[in-house]
Amino acid sequence: MGVDPGDTDRYMPAMSATISPTGSPIDSNDTVERLRILIAPDPVLRAKARPVGAGDDALVRDLVPRMFSTMYHAPGIGLAAPQVGTGLRLAVVDLMPDEKPHPIVLINPEIIGLSDELATREEGCLSLPGQYADVTRPARAKIRYQDQSGTRQEIEADGLLAACLQHEIDHLDGVLFVDHLSNLKRNMIMRRLAKEMRQKRDDVGR
């Protein structure tokens, strides 16, 4: 899930420093290699991710710090493995409550409960840079997942966290936030994104 740098208060408190998953600032000396974020309409973003299995331990250990580093530097508050080209059911989230790191690693997350009450919130996405729209989702969500130690966890969330968790789990199923919009709005956003990306490529080529 992305953050509009022009108005961070809609998503999270403004960051005075970029924070690593260990709680220390990430600076130019950060040794964690960041990952390339795929941009829609990359087909990888539309593929359903497979569950993380026992044989994926080494891959997950390598991916998690790199995903956090990539997310914090973007900046964003959530990132799913398919967004960095890995089709695993893995996501990282950090809303930075009180401007302090609170990283959450979600392995094989599943939604086990949603409220009937709905809430509308403006969303963005690191895979659709610069694009934002109001999205209506259940106001509260209950998520079951495994943490990095393999322990099963459950989290009940509302507000921004509920929206962020649903947004990231959508990514694991090949769903983008624009899929919750009307065809007209979705097509407008995708055309605008394509135009902006072409312009960036043209600018780089000059």
Looking at 117, 123, 156, 168, which residue is catalytic? 168
70: in domain = yes
Report if residue 3 sits inside a domain.
no
CATH number at residue 65: 3.90.45.10
What's the whole-model pTM score? 0.86
Pairing state between β 152-158 and 118-125: unpaired
**What is the DSSP secondary structure assignment for residue 182, as one 8-state letter?**
-
Total domain count for the chain? 1
Count CB neighbours of 125 within 10 A. 28
Query: Is residue 2 in a domain?
Result: no
Residue 53: give the domain boundaries.
8-205
Main-chain phi, psi angles of 92, to 5 degrees = -125, 145
| 88 in any annotated domain | yes
Distance CA 2, CA 83 (A): 12
At 15 the pLDDT is 28
Checking phi first, is residue 101 left (phi over 0); if not, alpha (psi -120 to 50) or beta?
A: beta
117 annotated active-site: no
Strand-pairing partners, residue 110, are: 144
Q: Per residue of the chain (206 residues), what is the pLDDT tens digit?
A: 875 544 433 333 322 234 444 444 444 446 789 999 999 999 999 999 999 998 999 999 999 999 999 999 999 999 999 999 999 999 999 999 888 899 999 999 999 999 999 999 999 999 999 999 999 999 999 999 999 999 999 999 999 999 999 999 999 999 999 999 999 999 999 999 999 999 988 877 66
Confirm whether 190 is domain-assigned. yes
